[in-house]
Structure 1
Amino acid sequence: MKRMKRSTLLAVLAAALVLVAGAFWLLRGKPAATPEKKPEAAARPSLTVTVAKPENSELSVTLAANGNVAAWQEASIGSESTGLKLAEVRVNVGDVVKKGQVLATFSAESVQADVAQAKASLAEARATAADATGTAARARTLQATGAMSQQQINQYQTAEQTAKARVEAAEAVLAAQQVRGRNTQVLAPDDGVISARTATVGSVVSAGTELFRMVRQGRLEWRAEVTSSELGRIAVGTPAVITSASGATVSGKVRSIAPTVDPQTRNALVYVDIPNVLQNTGLKAGMFARGDFQLGRTSALTVPQASVVPRDGFNYLLLLQPDNRVAQLKVETGRRVGDRVEITTALPGDARVVVQGAGFLNDGDLVRVVETPAAAAKPAAEAAAK
């Protein structure tokens, strides 16, 4: 039995060797495999760019207008005395004054002399009136006795009434001279800022001559010209931002709207209060200024300003495609706030616009996208917050 097992094992091993040798010779006889062709070189990106997604932002709705800056109310301060010499001028242009403050004074010597004379005349009239009153009283006591005629009694009573009238006239003259004395001081009629001065020391002015002009309460106003079609969008209390020629900006509010429209220009005036004229050094009465009425806020689709490419008088966005090529899209732009621009044209929901390098690309260009530092830091910040 052992011999039979050995012979069987040897036969199996011999068969296996024959099979291996046959396979070797078969493989050796096949022609060598041809080497695989290498793929063509991949297309190279033309530019490395950054991309961003459009965002919904809250933007203010404004209405632009132009107009002049003027004083809210300008008071003319003049002289009420005639023939007096101006002795002192206490204020100059730009000075802030309070109501009742002395702005200038006139020489008061002649007025004081007239006041003294009026007082003396009044004293004389009162003495004469007292004597006439006593005489008339004595005459009336003798009326019943018949010792004095009725004609004489009437004369004494008439003299009494005449003397009293002279007293009243003397009092009126004295009051007028005292008013002249008070008018030797020019007083401010209200709080405000002196805007003009014509008063000169030593000059003799007549009544009604203007000496100063004053911006009442230091308030200016912007008289904006608004077209009749846009007038309905503005109401009293609407805030506005006024910008002067120098670039200074001042905030104000609509005080009133003119009830009529100019038939020539079809524009209406809107009066915007500008308080604190001294603090708003960038605006002066007589300036021409532009401004914007703040009408509210609305939601808008915005993109970075660098992604908007102006070409041939139109604006374009370069949208990144799945194959890393860009597609040029003509768009309409709207409001601009900071570095964001409103896009009024509908964009795809998953749109990504090229930001950095957009101006150097054409439709169909292949690009390589890199993450911006802000975009790369955002997922890390979110992960840290979690």
Structure 2
Amino acid sequence: MNNKINDTVNKLKLKPAAALVAGALLLATGGMLAIAPDSMAADDKKDAAPKPALTVTTTKPSPATLAIKLGANGNVAAWQEAVIGSESGGLRLTDVKVNVGDIVKKGQVLAVFSADTVNADVAQARAALLEAEANAAEAVANAARARTLENSGALSAQQISQYKTAEQTARARIASAKAALSSQQLRLKYTQVVAPDDGVISARSATVGSVVGVGTELFRMIRQGRLEWRAEVTAAELARLKPGTSAVVKAANGSELTGKVRMIAPTIDPQTRSALVYVDLPQSVGANAPFKAGMFASGQFELGTSDAMTVPQQAVVVRDGFSYVFRLNQDSRVSQLKVQPGRRLGDRIEVTKGLSADAVVVVSGAGFLNEGDLVRNVAATAPASKPATAAK
């Protein structure tokens, strides 16, 4: 090496000081050339080691007992609606005692008609009855005397028959007068419109001062304040329901009630291919009642329970309209598995197809992974020790 430096110095004809500097530079360069290959090899080896794409947490599918439910939509309606009308014609309405939304009892007076004309008719019918009774008393007395003289020959058979006929006619007139009096008394009773049953007034058309005819509708009433949910169920699902099945009904305002199936319609609508299922709801009346007749409501019929395998909702990734989970393999790489989601239980979701019970699935970070990614697992969440019993 020294000979090469001397030759170089001689060729360049450098001064001794400059020759010493050049020699130092050549020695340094030679050292770097000797060291560089080892350092580059170490860096290449370091770059060749694979690096995890993400740090994740994992868990295994957990068993659970989930409720089997059947969803449906429908309307809330009155169990039975009573139409309350006028039974007296040609009378003036003088007082209306109830309004829409009022809770009434059976026999409660709802409206009153003017009774002046009817009272006069009742008095006239009562007088006609008294007259008929007086005439009947005379006819009875005459017939009694005729019977005593029947064998004496003082009266002819024709006269005796006339007295007996007059007695029977007088008795018939009494019956007719009594019937007329009862009719007028019934009209007097009809001047007061009363509730036929307990319930809630749902509509009112009665107006004070109006003169209405017989049969004119004055009020509508929800009998006993009972409501029902009329759910529309397809023909295919109808066989799964029966009277007594529980149903949780949810109104548009978020209120919920639990009812029971009372009956299933015997026919299916040929247009929609669905049948009505009538669900009795608990009594809910008043201005602040959560359910009202005519509102739309959705609900779910409770059909029992079944065993299921669940994973955290965070582990399920939706891509291109399909659901996937990422299984962690023994080589710390993940495999993307297409699964079929089912029912939900809080923050967990049922997997019905595509995943084995002993698989280790990625929970946190699943949404950022792709097929074959290398990951680092920092912790594993143990499956639930006790199966759940409720479903959302």
TM-score by length of 1: 0.81
1:281 matches 2:289: yes
Contact 1:218 1:275 in 2 (8 A): no
User: Could you tell me which residue of structure 2 aligns to residue 151 of structure 1?
Assistant: 158
Of 352, 355, 378, 2:360 maps to 352
1:255 matches 2:262: yes
State the secondary structure of the residue aligned to 2:252: coil
1:235-274 paired onto structure 2 within 5 Å? 235-274=242-281
| CA deviation after TM superposition for structure 1 residue 361, in Å | 2.1
Task: Return the alpha-carbon distance in structure 1 between the equivalents of residues 243 and 335 of structure 2.
Answer: 48
State the secondary structure of the residue aligned to 2:46: coil
1:1-386 paired onto structure 2 within 5 Å? 40=46, 43-278=50-285, 281-371=289-379
User: Could you tell me which residue of structure 1 aligns to residue 34 of structure 2?
Assistant: none
Task: Return the alpha-carbon distance in structure 1 between the equivalents of residues 379 and 118 of structure 2.
Answer: 88
Structure 1 pair 363/151, CA: closer, same or farther in 2 (3 Å)? same
Task: Return the alpha-carbon distance in structure 2 between the equivalents of residues 117 and 49 of structure 1.
Answer: 99
| CA deviation after TM superposition for structure 1 residue 258, in Å | 1.8
Task: Return the alpha-carbon distance in structure 2 between the equivalents of residues 371 and 113 of structure 1.
Answer: 96
| CA deviation after TM superposition for structure 1 residue 323, in Å | 4.0
| CA deviation after TM superposition for structure 1 residue 298, in Å | 0.4
| CA deviation after TM superposition for structure 1 residue 272, in Å | 1.5
Q: What CA deviation, in whole Å up to 9, does each residue of 1:259-286 have, x standing for no partner?
A: 2223333222222112313279333222
State the secondary structure of the residue aligned to 2:306: strand
User: Could you tell me which residue of structure 1 aligns to residue 26 of structure 2?
Assistant: none
Task: Return the alpha-carbon distance in structure 1 between the equivalents of residues 90 and 327 of structure 2.
Answer: 84
| CA deviation after TM superposition for structure 1 residue 301, in Å | 0.5
Task: Return the alpha-carbon distance in structure 2 between the equivalents of residues 89 and 352 of structure 1.
Answer: 74
Q: What CA deviation, in whole Å up to 9, does each residue of 1:13-52 have, x standing for no partner?
A: xxxxxxxxxxxxxxxxxxxxx9996972765444333322
Tell me which amino acid in the other structure corresponds to 2:251.
S
Task: Return the alpha-carbon distance in structure 1 between the equivalents of residues 148 and 51 of structure 2.
Answer: 137
State the secondary structure of the residue aligned to 1:332: strand
| CA deviation after TM superposition for structure 1 residue 216, in Å | 1.4
Contact 1:223 1:272 in 2 (8 A): yes
Task: Return the alpha-carbon distance in structure 2 between the equivalents of residues 68 and 144 of structure 1.
Answer: 84
Task: Return the alpha-carbon distance in structure 1 between the equivalents of residues 223 and 42 of structure 2.
Answer: 92
| CA deviation after TM superposition for structure 1 residue 346, in Å | 4.1
Q: Once superposed, what is the RMSD of the aligned Cα atoms?
A: 2.5
State the secondary structure of the residue aligned to 1:207: coil
How many pairs does the alignment contain? 343
State the secondary structure of the residue aligned to 1:229: helix
| CA deviation after TM superposition for structure 1 residue 296, in Å | 1.1
Tell me which amino acid in the other structure corresponds to 1:225.
E
| CA deviation after TM superposition for structure 1 residue 122, in Å | 0.9
State the secondary structure of the residue aligned to 1:261: coil
Task: Return the alpha-carbon distance in structure 2 between the equivalents of residues 338 and 202 of structure 1.
Answer: 61
Structure 1 pair 325/303, CA: closer, same or farther in 2 (3 Å)? same
State the secondary structure of the residue aligned to 2:353: coil
